Structure 1
Amino acid sequence: MSKFGVMVMGPAGVGKSTFCASLITHLQLSRRSAFYVNLDPAAEHFEHQPDLDIKDLISVEDVMEEVGLGPNGGLIYCFEFLMQNLDFLSEALDSLTEEYLIIFDMPGQIELYTHVPVLPTLVKFLSQPGALDIRLCAAYLLEATYVIDRAKYFAGSLSAMSAMMMLEVPHINILSKMDLIKDQMRKKDFKRFITPDTSLLEDDPADLARKRAGVNIDAHYADPNDKDVVMSGASFKQLNTAVANLLESFSLVSYLKLDCTDEESVAAILSYIDDCIQYHEAQEPKELPDEEYEEAE
């Protein structure tokens, strides 16, 4: 029988572990089983203790100390080491039944989702028939506050599309921490950010603020090392426009909204995950007890 799993991904600080904890709590309240796998070798604090933790195999701190690598290089080293010791995963996951939702809490380093081929290899190992045979979907989180900064929003959306194309598994994109922007943006205005398109650049708050202040930067005389100058220059605008056009052309990225403080919001995201992995379709129909058959007759 197939197993079912979700890989929770996204940049650092977007609330991946918080979402995993909310998802586990909701599953428990719904009398469903969850198996929590932490694959972030630098994670330290958990609301729910992982059932399987990569740090029992290798940690970034040990790699940095023994091999002399930095945090990002150490994380890549940890994943390469994991790929050489995949029995660490298979021994723990092999005995799980289809009743479990296996939740993989992934690290936030963007290299893993852009150009390092480690994650596609891991996905193939987890999902290949005849072995673990896990029906996987990816849940890519982006912080909802990014919509205030158009550059961050489009950069995050581009990384989401990169992960979608790289992993080649059913994929949902999520704007997390919706509770943080309730007082900053009207629901009507927020709907525009569900699907990225170039029209969002026309009313960039940062650009409008500079125009109201009468700021006019001459690129010929401005200091190229000044961050504010770079972020407000014509080249940066052209870059954002190019990224927006790319996203709009492929039309692959759209978002669901998540507020981890709202149980209905978590339940809605879980329903999308179940739909992606076809969880309910794989469940065996339950037979009615004899007395219920008699009543039905």
Structure 2
Amino acid sequence: MVFGQVVIGPPGSGKTTYCNGMSQFLNLIGRKVAVVNLDPANDSLPYECAINIEDLVKLSDVMIEHSLGPNGGLVYCMDYLEKNIDWLEAKLKPLLKDHYLLFDFPGQVELFFLHSNAKNVIMKLIKKLNLRLTAVHLVDAHLCSDPGKYISALLLTLSTMLHMELPHINVLSKIDLIESYGKLAFNLDFYTDVQDLSYLQHSLDKDPHSAKYRKLTKELCEVVEHYSLVNFTTLDIQDKESVGNLVKLIDKTNGYIFASIDASAVEFSKIAMGAPDWDYYRYPFFSHATILTLWPTSTHTKGPRGFLGLMSYHRCFAHGNDDYQTRESVVKSSAGERPLDMDYRRDSVWFTHPYGTKDFENMVEAAEL
């Protein structure tokens, strides 16, 4: 199992500098790092890369041969890389045993939410090489000083998150220069937490050019808040404490923190907890099943107790230390019985349980008394 980062973000956000500083930091803490440059327009690398896309295709050659501009040439290069993914896989295989990977991607935003080539490259590598990757999306912190630019950055970030479908961390880079283009209207937490964006409206109203777009700005802010996915962490790549905090966060998202757990400790925990009495693969989660949500109550009721399960009879029961009673009503349809108005995040924990049909019928009858 190999871990790594997919470094993305708009041009000028500091991706190459990030890869250089991050590789140095990871080397200092004992990790062997391989930087993979997948930006064919980056011909002056400050770091030593293990793999360089220029060995496969060069942007300058593409632009001349096909009469393309820089953006069109980059799209062509990503398409060419996707069609020749075997080349990249062959280059990566010698590094998989003991290296942590950093993928340095181009900054053209259309590659990540208008075209699917870059995403397809990442997904093919994940499936074929069993990679565990986190997308690190860099945004220049100075955009916070302009409400209009900040909202644009939020929309770009949200679009990229939805398109990439990876564990995702958004980073305000160059945080040490955040006020170099002007003083912030709010404290830093406002920009990192991305909440109450309506306050930005007051700042925009002061600009006569932005005032006429008041309704549009309001709608865009509501879109970002509706998804409630975007937030930021801060980074000063020259500050080792800042880089260390970011590394800890990335390690949590891609699972690296669990890679060093000793196998004996895992086996001991299995023995301590006992063997599970369900099989996730043998008994599927949602195969023609009906879920009844339940919640603990102080009223003592008859019937089995415990944790919520998905039964072979395609209904659920409560069985555990607390008393439970049914919360939602159930209706019948052509597809079977289904619950109404269920909040599975709040009310239930699901897993399969191979009880016999007759035993379960008795449990349901007892629970319904």
What TM-score results when the alignment is normalised by the length of structure 1?
0.83
Aligned-residue CA RMSD in angstroms? 2.0
- Identify the match of residue 254 of structure 1 among 217, 223, 231: 231
- Say if 2:136 is the partner of 1:139: yes
Structure-2 change in CA distance of 1:99 and 1:203 (3 Å): farther
Deviation at 1:160, TM superposition (A): 1.0
| Match in the other structure for 2:243 | 266
Residue by residue over 1:258-294, the C-alpha shift from the partner in whole angstroms, topping out at 9 and shown as x without a partner, is 011211111111111111111121225399xxxxxxx
Contact 1:150/1:200 (CA < 8 Å) preserved in 2? no
Structure-2 change in CA distance of 1:187 and 1:33 (3 Å): farther
Deviation at 1:105, TM superposition (A): 0.5
| Match in the other structure for 1:194 | 192
Residue by residue over 1:63-113, the C-alpha shift from the partner in whole angstroms, topping out at 9 and shown as x without a partner, is 111110111100000000001111121011112245421000111101012
| Match in the other structure for 1:238 | 215
Structure-2 change in CA distance of 1:103 and 1:200 (3 Å): farther
Deviation at 1:202, TM superposition (A): 3.2
- Say if 2:34 is the partner of 1:8: no
**2:185 and 2:260 mapped to 1: Cα distance?**
37
**1:187 and 1:29 mapped to 2: Cα distance?**
38
State the one-letter code of the partner of 1:193: Y
Deviation at 1:120, TM superposition (A): 2.4
| Match in the other structure for 1:109 | 108
| Match in the other structure for 2:22 | 23
Deviation at 1:188, TM superposition (A): 7.1
Deviation at 1:177, TM superposition (A): 0.5
State the one-letter code of the partner of 1:77: Y
Unaligned runs of at least 5 residues, structure 2: 265-369
| Match in the other structure for 1:150 | 147
Contact 1:141/1:174 (CA < 8 Å) preserved in 2? yes
State the one-letter code of the partner of 1:257: T
State the one-letter code of the partner of 2:241: E
Residue by residue over 1:215-246, the C-alpha shift from the partner in whole angstroms, topping out at 9 and shown as x without a partner, is x6xxxxxxxxxxxxxx4351x33222221110
**1:146 and 1:187 mapped to 2: Cα distance?**
12
Secondary structure of the structure 2 residue equivalent to 1:202: helix
| Match in the other structure for 1:52 | 51
**1:188 and 1:265 mapped to 2: Cα distance?**
22
**1:21 and 1:270 mapped to 2: Cα distance?**
14
**1:182 and 1:150 mapped to 2: Cα distance?**
13
State the one-letter code of the partner of 1:194: T
Structure-2 change in CA distance of 1:79 and 1:46 (3 Å): same
**1:259 and 1:67 mapped to 2: Cα distance?**
40
Deviation at 1:203, TM superposition (A): 3.8
State the one-letter code of the partner of 2:247: L
Secondary structure of the structure 2 residue equivalent to 1:174: strand
State the one-letter code of the partner of 1:248: E
Name which of structure 1's ranges 189-198 and 73-82 shifts more when overlaid on structure 2: 189-198
Contact 1:36/1:103 (CA < 8 Å) preserved in 2? yes
| Match in the other structure for 2:166 | 169
| Match in the other structure for 1:93 | 92
| Match in the other structure for 1:221 | none
Secondary structure of the structure 2 residue equivalent to 1:36: strand
Runs of 4 or more consecutive aligned structure 1 residues displaced over 6 Å after TM superposition: none
- Higher CA-based Rg: 2
Contact 1:155/1:243 (CA < 8 Å) preserved in 2? no
Secondary structure of the structure 1 residue equivalent to 2:118: helix
**2:62 and 2:243 mapped to 1: Cα distance?**
36
| Match in the other structure for 2:277 | none
**2:98 and 2:219 mapped to 1: Cα distance?**
45
**1:188 and 1:241 mapped to 2: Cα distance?**
18
Contact 1:173/1:256 (CA < 8 Å) preserved in 2? yes
**1:89 and 1:284 mapped to 2: Cα distance?**
30
Structure-2 change in CA distance of 1:274 and 1:25 (3 Å): same
State the one-letter code of the partner of 1:270: V
| Match in the other structure for 2:293 | none
Name which of structure 1's ranges 42-51 and 251-260 shifts more when overlaid on structure 2: 42-51
Higher relative contact order (CA 8 A, sep 6+): 1
**1:232 and 1:185 mapped to 2: Cα distance?**
19
State the one-letter code of the partner of 2:230: V
Name which of structure 1's ranges 78-87 and 88-97 shifts more when overlaid on structure 2: 88-97
